[in-house]
């Protein structure tokens, strides 16, 4: 006891040292995801659902498979409140990894933060994942090697919506003379698609009116009275957060039918429609993934994570909603990229540069999606050096007053039309920044 | 002309909603000379508490009463932990305290009740009425009625009760009020609790209109120009200011907005407020500050 008393500080230091080494050894076989999440602030509903689904999928892979090839996933969160400055601060704080576990990719779920960290991600060789959003020209991986607007970039999104309107009208030629209003969020995200909408209006001859709703969008009387005066055939709602239910309520107030409003990818959740009550009934929106809990992967998460009391959602009723499922889809794509990269670089924690290769060579066909239990939840996807989007298809869903029902098959964006526009923009960016675009034909050969 | 009238009327009705929030500011400013930046957070806290109780099966009026008690407890905590500690400090110190308070109350509300969006149905259908070709929102008319009732109630409280007379005495001269035995701390508690009640009413109406969610706390930004225009010390001013802000921002957005790219209704009321500051710094109905120099 006397020895213990005399040397207790030495023993304590030794104990701490052992604990620290153990942590490092554990971390040596872990892959880290830095999460610039937002669980408070005006867009917390989207952030908490998305990051909840993402984290629960990582937990599920850890619990069911012990990670990928024995490499477990770890993560930590940094609250951004959807504020760009905070997002950049979080990026800088988390990018170096956690306890020796290297960072795989960043997933800020914010156009503003994505824009602000784009060049940093390239310099730091850390993939920047902007699922269903982000800078459209970052689809061109020859100029933007580290940015991945997975599944659906903003141009594809509006192209698919216009194609859907054409289908409802009886063909693309019937768009001529139609009146379409786009009500957009007053932010870089909201304005992203204005040029392509103008181009599509010119090409197909429809009359386009662009109306901005200042952030956050909790007052839209003037915009909807203007819409009432224009008497459009369709309104495309490019909203976010509170702007969506307010749009639906104000539409009702001004007598515009909800079944002629088409919500974009960030106007498509239960949190967007339900608060509008009866005003949302009939509202149509696009989706890259349905809500629901019947998919085997969701059942697995329920079994391994939710029932084990480890679910990330504060309100378990949100399990399987649109935002949550988007988080799960994002988790699947991130984890599969790590898996693909491990197959090339070895079964160990990977650097961001190696994970980038995994994303660029990601291929999810129906067979693989079935194995993952995500058939019907995730669209088939094939990425490449030239194409960092991979999908470009959406389905349409309609709110029945209490839930979304899918009402269409996959509707594809006109990617052939969009590609030259994307390349023009990406090459202008390359010129401005002095970037020499990669030769993707060589990259593909290297991948083989 | 019909369209102009429709925008104008819609703006007036939207302005009433701003007034509801602005009234809460006026109450606290009248009693203590403090611009309570936390009023928006109090609206959020009240609405989140109310809707969460309703979702747990508590009837409307039960939830209303419990939320009211919660707001009174919150007022008491603010009085004991913040205001009492800052007695005799400069107004800017008190303002900064309420700024900090707003973040604390926002964080507390979301920590307790979560960040998800809640639908709130108070049974008012929002199908529009058409009067001479002009659409009028049923809900906004209802809100205007509530605002009118609230002004009448507060008018009674201020003019016909002992508490009201004490409040007016404190607003006129704190030291003189203390000298004649008015208990300042008790009054502050009452005023903050009444501001909590106003916040609850505003929160329920705004929540029913836009869903109960974080952005309710941002409506404080709409109240500021209302107060500058109407005057910080007048409930009637808050109503008139709200009407002016509501109507002018809608007309500006519809008729001037397209000429300069749109999306101007967030900052237009501030332009108007600045103009008012230049010509009538104490607002339309505010007390003119006279100081001996």
Interface touch A277/B263, C-beta < 8 Å: no
Q: What is the pLDDT of residues B123-134, one digit of tens each?
A: 887 777 888 878
Report the DSSP pairing between strands A234-238 and A179-185: parallel
- pLDDT, residue A25, reads 47
Interfacial B residues in 79-108 facing A (CB < 8 Å): 106-107
What interface predicted TM-score (ipTM) does this complex get? 0.83
Interface touch B265/A222, C-beta < 8 Å: yes
Domain range A28-152+291-382+422-447, CATH architecture: 3-Layer(aba) Sandwich (3.40)
pLDDT tens track of chain A, all 448 residues? 444 555 555 555 555 555 554 444 455 699 999 999 999 887 888 899 999 999 999 999 999 999 999 999 999 999 999 899 999 999 999 999 999 999 999 999 998 899 999 999 999 999 999 999 889 999 999 999 999 999 999 999 999 999 999 999 999 999 999 999 999 999 888 998 999 999 999 999 999 999 999 888 888 988 999 999 999 999 999 998 889 999 999 999 888 999 999 999 999 999 899 989 889 999 999 999 999 999 999 999 999 999 999 999 988 889 999 999 999 999 999 999 999 999 999 999 999 999 999 999 999 999 999 999 999 999 999 999 999 999 888 999 999 999 999 999 889 898 888 999 999 999 999 999 999 999 998 875 444 4
Q: What is the pLDDT of residues B7-33, one digit of tens each?
A: 899 899 889 989 988 998 998 888 777
Interface touch B115/A314, C-beta < 8 Å: yes
Q: How far apart are CA A197 and CA A156, in angstroms?
A: 11
Q: Which residue is listed with tokens 């050096």? A: A385
Inform me whether the C-beta atom of residue A252 falls under 8 Å from chain B C-beta atoms: yes
- pLDDT, residue A78, reads 97
Contacts of A123 (CB under 8 A, 6+ apart): none
DSSP 3-state assignment of A41? Answer: coil
- Residues of chain A in contact with residue B214, where contact means CB-CB under 8 angstroms, are 40-42, 44, 242
DSSP 3-state assignment of A358? Answer: helix
- pLDDT, residue A5, reads 53
Q: How far apart are CA A303 and CA B277, in angstroms?
A: 62
Interface touch A246/B209, C-beta < 8 Å: yes
Q: Say if residues A96 and A34 touch (Cβ distance below 8 Å).
A: no
Interfacial B residues in 154-213 facing A (CB < 8 Å): 206, 209-213
Using CA atoms, how far residue A79 sits from A76, A206, A319, in Å, is: 10, 42, 22
DSSP 3-state assignment of A285? Answer: strand
User: Of the candidates A39, A223, A249, which has its C-beta nearest B209's C-beta?
Assistant: A249
Q: How far apart are CA A120 and CA A104, in angstroms?
A: 15
**For residue A231, how many other CB atoms are within 10 A of its CB?**
9
Q: For chain B, which residues make up each domain, given as ranges?
A: 2-217
Which ranges in chain A are annotated with CATH 3.40.50.2300?
A: 28-152+291-382+422-447, 155-287+398-413
**Minimum distance, in Å, between the CA of residue A285 and any CA atom of chain B:** 18
Nearest one of B160, B83, B265 to A223, comparing CA atoms: B265
Assign B72 a pLDDT band (cuts: 50, 70, 90): very high
Average pLDDT, rounded, for chain B? 88
Inform me whether the C-beta atom of residue A221 falls under 8 Å from chain B C-beta atoms: yes
pLDDT surpassing 70 at residue B251: yes
- Residues of chain B in contact with residue A210, where contact means CB-CB under 8 angstroms, are 262
- pLDDT, residue B259, reads 87
- pLDDT, residue B130, reads 81
User: Of the candidates B107, B126, B265, which has its C-beta nearest A252's C-beta?
Assistant: B126
Assign B222 a pLDDT band (cuts: 50, 70, 90): confident
- pLDDT, residue B69, reads 96
Most confident of B79-83, B88-92, B170-174: B79-83
- pLDDT, residue A353, reads 97
Interfacial A residues in 24-63 facing B (CB < 8 Å): 39-42, 44-45, 47-49
- pLDDT, residue A21, reads 47
**For residue B155, how many other CB atoms are within 10 A of its CB?**
13
Assign B115 a pLDDT band (cuts: 50, 70, 90): confident
- pLDDT, residue B175, reads 79
**Minimum distance, in Å, between the CA of residue A405 and any CA atom of chain B:** 20
CATH number of A155-287+398-413: 3.40.50.2300
**How far from the centroid of its chain's Cα atoms is residue A279's Cα?**
27
Q: How far apart are CA B6 and CA B140, in angstroms?
A: 13
């Amino acid at each position: 006891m006397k020895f213990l008393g005399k040397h207790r500080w030495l023993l304590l230091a030794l104990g701490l040292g052992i604990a620290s080494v153990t942590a490092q050894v554990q971390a040596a076989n872990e892959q880290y995801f830095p999460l610039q999440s937002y669980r408070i602030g005006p867009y917390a509903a989207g952030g908490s659902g998305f990051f909840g689904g993402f984290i629960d999928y990582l937990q599920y892979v850890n619990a069911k498979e012990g990670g990928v090839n024995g490499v477990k996933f770890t993560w930590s969160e940094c609250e951004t409140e959807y504020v760009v400055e905070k997002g950049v601060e979080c990026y800088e704080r988390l990018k170096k990894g956690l306890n020796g576990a290297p960072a795989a990719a960043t997933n800020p779920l914010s156009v503003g933060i994505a824009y602000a960290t784009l060049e940093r991600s390239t310099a730091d060789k850390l993939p920047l994942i902007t699922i269903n959003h982000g800078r459209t020209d970052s689809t061109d991986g020859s100029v933007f090697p580290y940015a991945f607007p997975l599944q659906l970039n903003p141009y594809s999104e509006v192209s698919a919506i216009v194609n859907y309107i054409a289908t409802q009208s009886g063909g693309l030629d019937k768009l001529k003379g139609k009146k379409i209003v786009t009500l957009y969020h007053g932010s870089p995200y909201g304005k992203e698609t204005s040029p392509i909408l103008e181009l599509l209006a010119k090409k197909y001859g429809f009359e386009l009116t662009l109306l901005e709703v200042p952030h956050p969008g909790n007052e839209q009387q003037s915009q909807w009275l203007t819409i009432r005066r224009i008497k459009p055939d369709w309104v495309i709602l490019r909203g976010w957060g509170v702007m969506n239910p307010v749009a639906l309520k104000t539409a009702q107030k001004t007598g515009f039918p909800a079944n002629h409003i088409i919500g974009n990818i960030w106007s498509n959740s239960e949190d967007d429609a339900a608060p509008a009550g009866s005003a949302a009934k009939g509202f149509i929106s696009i989706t890259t993934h349905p809500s629901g809990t019947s998919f085997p992967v969701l059942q697995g998460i329920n079994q391994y994570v939710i029932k084990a009391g480890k679910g990330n959602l504060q309100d378990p009723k949100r399990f399987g909603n649109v935002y949550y499922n988007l988080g799960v889809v994002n988790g699947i794509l991130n984890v599969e990229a790590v898996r693909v990269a491990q197959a090339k670089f070895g079964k160990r924690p990977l650097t961001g540069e190696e994970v980038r290769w995994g994303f660029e060579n990601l291929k999810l066909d129906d067979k693989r999606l079935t194995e993952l239990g995500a058939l019907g939840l995730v669209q088939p996807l094939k990425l490449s050096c030239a194409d960092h989007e991979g999908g470009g298809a959406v389905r349409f869903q309609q709110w029945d007053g209490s839930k979304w029902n899918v009402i269409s098959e996959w509707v594809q964006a006109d990617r052939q039309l969009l590609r030259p526009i994307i390349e023009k923009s990406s090459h202008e960016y390359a010129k401005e920044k002095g970037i020499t675009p990669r030769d993707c034909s060589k990259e593909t050969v290297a991948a083989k | 002309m019909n369209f102009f009238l429709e925008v104008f009327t819609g703006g007036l009705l939207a302005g009433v909603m701003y007034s509801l929030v602005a009234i809460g500011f006026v109450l606290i400013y009248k009693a203590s000379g403090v611009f309570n930046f936390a009023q928006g957070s109090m609206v959020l806290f009240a609405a989140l508490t109310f809707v969460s109780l309703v979702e747990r099966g508590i009837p409307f009026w039960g939830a209303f009463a419990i939320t009211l008690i919660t707001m009174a407890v919150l007022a008491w905590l603010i009085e004991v932990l913040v205001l009492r500690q800052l007695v005799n400090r400069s107004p800017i110190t008190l303002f900064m305290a309420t700024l900090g308070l707003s973040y604390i109350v926002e964080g507390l509300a979301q920590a307790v009740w979560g960040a998800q969006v809640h639908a709130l149905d108070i049974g008012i259908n929002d199908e529009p009425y058409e009067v001479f070709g002009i659409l009028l929102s049923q809900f906004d008319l209802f809100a205007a009625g509530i605002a009118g009732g609230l002004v009448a109630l507060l008018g009674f409280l201020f003019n016909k009760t002992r508490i009201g007379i004490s409040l007016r005495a404190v607003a006129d001269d704190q030291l003189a009020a203390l000298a004649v035995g008015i208990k300042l701390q008790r009054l502050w508690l009452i005023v903050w609790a009444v501001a909590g009640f106003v916040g609850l009413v505003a929160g329920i109406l705004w929540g029913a209109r836009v869903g109960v969610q974080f952005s309710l706390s941002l409506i404080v930004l709409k109240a500021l120009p209302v107060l500058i225009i109407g005057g910080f010390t007048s409930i009637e001013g808050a109503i008139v200011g709200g009407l002016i802000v509501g109507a002018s921002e809608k007309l500006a957005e519809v008729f001037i907005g397209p000429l300069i790219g749109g999306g101007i209704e967030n900052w237009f009321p501030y332009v108007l407020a600045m103009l008012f500051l230049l010509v009538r710094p104490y607002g339309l109905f505010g007390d003119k500050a006279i100081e001996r120099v």
